[in-house]
Amino acid sequence: MNRIARMTEEGLVSLITFLLALILILVFKVGDFLWPAWIIEYQNQITGVLAFLVVILILLSPIIIEFNSNPRPLSGPGKDPRSGWGS
């Protein structure tokens, strides 16, 4: 479980870092002469959406890590929690 939690945490950190790098590129207009016209036109909206995603990921990261490392076993078809499998 600790390994899964660590891998999930590393993935979230990588994703948040990537999104923050995109935000910095958009804010400081790095290489804007290479951007398509639609990115230049909607630059503020794209930056806002990316910033919103970063905030949401930061706030939900403990829940995401906990959900991935400690999945709750659910009873479903074929499993009776009182008597075991297939009974």
- The pTM of this model reads 0.76
8 vs 71: CA distance, rounded Å:
13
Q: Which of 66, 61, 71, 70 is nearest to 15 (CA)?
A: 61
Per-residue tens of pLDDT for the chain, all 87 residues: 788 889 999 999 999 999 999 999 999 999 989 999 999 999 999 999 999 999 999 999 999 888 888 776 665 566 656 665 555
Residue-range domain boundaries for the chain: 2-69
